[in-house]
A and B are shown apart, each in its own frame.
Chain A
Amino acid sequence: MKWVLRIVAILVALPLMGAVVLLAMGQRSGAGRSHASIEIQAPPEHIWPWLEDSARLKQWVSWLVEVRDGPHAAPGAGAQRVFVMRDDNNGGALMEIPFTISDYAPPAHVTFHAEVAGSFKGDEVYRLTALGNGRTRLDQVGQYQYQMWIARLMEPLITPQAEKKMRADLTRLKQAVEQSETAPR
Chain B
Amino acid sequence: MKAARKPALQPPRAAEWLLLALAGDPDAEFVAGDLAENFGCLFARRGGRAACRWYVWQVVRSAPALLSLRMRSGELTGAVLRATLGVLLPLVALDRLWRFVYSQIPLKDGVERDPAMLLANILFVLLCSWAVGRQEPRTPRRAGPDVVAALVAAALAVRVAVGAAPAAYIVCLLLSAAANSFWSPRRRKLR
Q: A residues near B, CB below 8 A?
A: 3, 6-7, 10-11, 14, 61-64, 83, 85-90, 95, 97, 114, 119-120, 122, 124, 142, 144, 146, 148, 150-151, 154, 157-158, 160-162, 164-166, 169
Contact = CB atoms under 8 A, between A and B. Distances in A.
Interface string B107-128: 1111100100000000010011
Given A6-B131, A88-B162, A150-B100, A161 B107 contact: no
A120 B104 contact: yes
A89 B162 contact: yes
Interface of B: 97-111, 114, 124, 127-128, 131-132, 135, 162-163
11 contacts: A6-B131, A10-B127, A10-B131, A89-B98, A89-B100, A97-B107, A124-B107, A142-B106, A158-B101, A158-B105, A161-B101
B135 A3 contact: yes
Question: Quick one: which of B100, B107, B162, B163 has the most chain A CB within 10 A?
Answer: B107
A32 to B, nearest CB: 10
A112 B11 CA distance: 76
A7 B109 contact: no
Given A10-B131, A11-B128, A63 B100 contact: no
Contacts of A158: 101, 104-105
Contacts of A10: 127-128, 131
Given A7-B132, A89-B162, A164-B114, A63 B101 contact: no
A4 B100 CA distance: 30
